[in-house]
Amino acid sequence: MAAPGAVALAAVLALAGCSSSSKGSSASSPASPSAGASTKQPSSAPGAQSGGANQLQDAYQRVIADVLPSVVQITTGDSLGSGIVYDDKGDIVTNAHVVGTATTFAVTLANSSKTLDATLVASYPDSDLAVIRLSSPPGGLKPAAFADSGKVQLGQITLAMGSPLGLSSSVTQGIVSATGRTVSEPRGGGSPGATIGNMVQTSAAINPGNSGGALVNLDSQVIGINTLAATEPQTNGGAAPGIGFAIPASTITSIADQLIKQGKVTNTGRAALGIVARSSFNQQFQPAGAVIVSVTQGGAAAGAGLQAGDVITRIGDTPVDSLNALTTALASLTPGSKVTVTYTRDGKDQTADVTLGTLETP
């Protein structure tokens, strides 16, 4: 694996971005039988199961009624994606690869067939997030509520909402399959190939057009933005069922707040060594690590004694055989955390304990 929690699948990843425009309660247990009564209850068990199913169905329908009005369809030229109403001023958060290079958009609310004009506030492709703003926000906009990412747990029921294949206000269901995934997006489709840490993996179906839409828990809270789906190379890019990824709520709110207030990101929340590096190759021209080209004065690597020419081969317990592997490993970590860096200098393996800094924006 390239990093703890990193995606290392036979399947490849595909942006779920733009498609072409052409808490449920369990059933209560049956009452205990009275003394001398038979312990067999052939008639009550089906009723209990039915009651539990009805309660879960009611929970689904409640969440959909609560959250779906906050999910919009975004059209750019001849393609479309999804977005989430972020505040009552008309700000909408979505994926950067949904907006691409466009600066104007047509937005359709879930409860209307009328299109509304919107313009780009700012985009941050490194985290694949962007904010657009309705030019004339209508009354009654319903901002979504965002969950505490630290409380998202394996097995939680999830609903994915968006406009897959242009089918607006669509909902699919699944569970949280994993948390803390580090995923590298494919380049193209408006994406520079960002590596994003701490993503939520879900079994809810995510299809083209779902990107930018909401992944929601049964408390009617957004736990992530639908972003990626896995595809199987053996089926020429066909969907790999039940493997989708969403950017976590904590990243969404941090980046969106900065884009809205400042028009740019100044605190990335991403760990960094404070170096410029490139992939290193051995004498057989095989990937052999990430060689440091330069070290930022006062940065994390400099403070730990790393130098230009050192070849990083491991971050903590994670092997590093290329610049991409180094980027993926760092994406799974947080600023301020301490990590042991294994590197080669003058043909000898050495280690350094590094307190990671924060990745700076250009």
Predicted confidence (pLDDT) per residue in 327-360, tens digit: 999 998 999 999 999 999 999 999 999 999 998 8
Tens-place pLDDT, residues 76-131? 887 899 999 999 999 999 999 999 999 999 999 998 889 999 999 999 999 999 99
List 70, 82, 168, 211, catalytic entry: 211
Catalytic residue among 91, 126, 128, 321: 128
For 12-18+144-252, CATH gives 2.40.10.10
- What 8-state DSSP symbol labels residue 186? P
Q: pTM of the entire structure? A: 0.80
CATH superfamily, domain at 271-358: PDZ domain (2.30.42.10)
The single residue of 70, 91, 97, 321 carrying the catalytic annotation is 97
**Is 97 among the catalytic positions?**
yes
321 given a catalytic annotation: no
Average the pLDDT over each of 100-114, 180-194, 196-210 and give the range with the smallest value.
180-194
Q: Where in the chain is the domain with CATH 2.40.10.10?
A: 12-18+144-252, 68-134
Is 211 one of the catalytic residues? yes
pLDDT digits (tens, 9 = 90+) for 210-241: 999 999 999 999 999 999 988 776 656 566 77
Q: Which CATH class is domain 68-134?
A: mainly beta
For the chain, what is the total number of helices (H) and then of strands (E)?
Answer: 5, 22
Q: Hey, is 132 helix, strand or coil?
A: strand
